[in-house]
Amino acid sequence: MHDVIVIGGSYAGMAAALQLLRAYRAVKVIDGGERRNRFADLSHGFLGQDGVAAAEIASTARRQLEAYKTLSWVEGRAVTVTGGKDDFTVTTTDGERHRARRLLFAIGLEDQLPEIAGLSARWGRSVFHCPYCHGYELERGPIGVIATGPMSVHQAEIVSEWGEVTFLTNGAVEVDADQRRTLENRHVLIEPGLIDRIDGVADVVFAGGRQLSFAGLFTAPHCVPASSLAEAAGCALEETMMGIQIQTDAAKLTSVPGVFACGDVARMPHSVTLAVADGAWAGAQLHRSLVWPDA
């Protein structure tokens, strides 16, 4: 019987595990190894680790966790959750059963990208969602913002801080007169053509063959939890402007007693920094629930 099973051993899950291990708690981390940023080589904007490989940040953290004797680590996916507060059972793909008094979901999000030929192959390389993470490297070159819905107007406005933006509405949004004025004030060009495919680094080819070339592209994916396990365990979900996340209170407790959630899947907006901070907070709050179980 472990104190905690952390499902998802990336930035948020490891940050939570670290606090619990430092409180001498028995922590089992189950991790499928599919970080959300696995499509990008370098990670930016995390203080002290700016421009470091995303995988290296994770492997350094993992190495530091391994120094604690009360850690056990399972590589694989959790597939079922049963039981309740003080006695949960989690099964993994290999059929093993794992028991713990508390659960923490740090399962991250999956990005549902617009269905445009050539787009997903360039995700994290020349197609991005977060300008703070990837805007600087485009060196103020021309940028295309591919609309996925009404919120994309705001993405085009903010991204125009990083270069000259063409807002590619692609039939996903109708720009009204007010929005047109706001976009024009920010020198954003509006391109209504329907996109056929992405070529080259970031060349947008329209139906009919016309082409616009950019230094990079931005788009806003619809985000959903990377695993349906939290929902299956009964955790209430909530809708945000970015998609679906697990609902938590200020202590990162979900709607299910004894079950906590942190990181991208339980807050927005999303970054490594924010996932780590959320995880550290969740780890301490979860620890308190072990110390004062009835509080």
Chain residues in the site for Mg ion (CB under 5 A): 8, 10, 12-13, 106, 263
Min. distance of Cβ 275 from ligand FAD in angstroms?
A: 4
Asked if residue 220 binds ligand FAD (CB under 6 A), the reply is: no
Of 119, 173, 242, 275, the residue at the interface with ligand FAD (CB under 6 A) is 275
C-alpha atoms less than 13 angstroms from C-alpha of 190 in its C-beta half-sphere: 20
Tell me how far, at minimum, the Cβ of 191 lies from ligand FAD, in Å: 24
Out of 19, 155, 166, 227, which residue is the one contacting ligand FAD (CB under 6 A)?
227
Strand ranges of the sheet holding 222-225, from the earlier edge strand across to the other edge: 109-112, 222-225, 243-246, 237-240
Q: Is 161 helix (H, G, I), strand (E, B) or coil?
A: coil
Cβ-based nearer residue to Mg ion, 119 or 261 = 261
Look up residue 192 and give its two tokens: 């209504």
Binding segment (CB under 6 A) for ligand FAD, from list 59-67, 212-220, 244-252, 269-277:
269-277
Which residues ranging from 70 to 99 are in contact with ligand FAD (CB under 6 A)?
Answer: 77-78
Q: How far is the CB of 65 from ligand FAD (least distance, A)?
A: 13
Where does this chain touch ligand FAD (CB under 6 A) — which range of 151-159, 164-172, 193-201, 223-231? 223-231
Helix (H) or strand (E) holding 228: none
- Cis, bond preceding 269 (omega within 30 deg of 0): yes
The least CB distance from residue 86 to ligand FAD, in Å, is 22
Q: Residues 162, 154: contact at Cβ < 8 Å?
A: no
Residue with tokens 């995390």: 46
Taken in order 162, 168, 172, 174, the sign of the CA dihedral is positive
> In sequence order, which residues have a C-beta less than 8 Å from that of residue 134 and are 6 or more positions away?
40, 44, 128, 216
Using the minimum distance from each CB to Mg ion, give the nearer residue, 64 or 185.
Answer: 64
Site for ligand FAD in 10-29 (CB under 6 A): 10-13
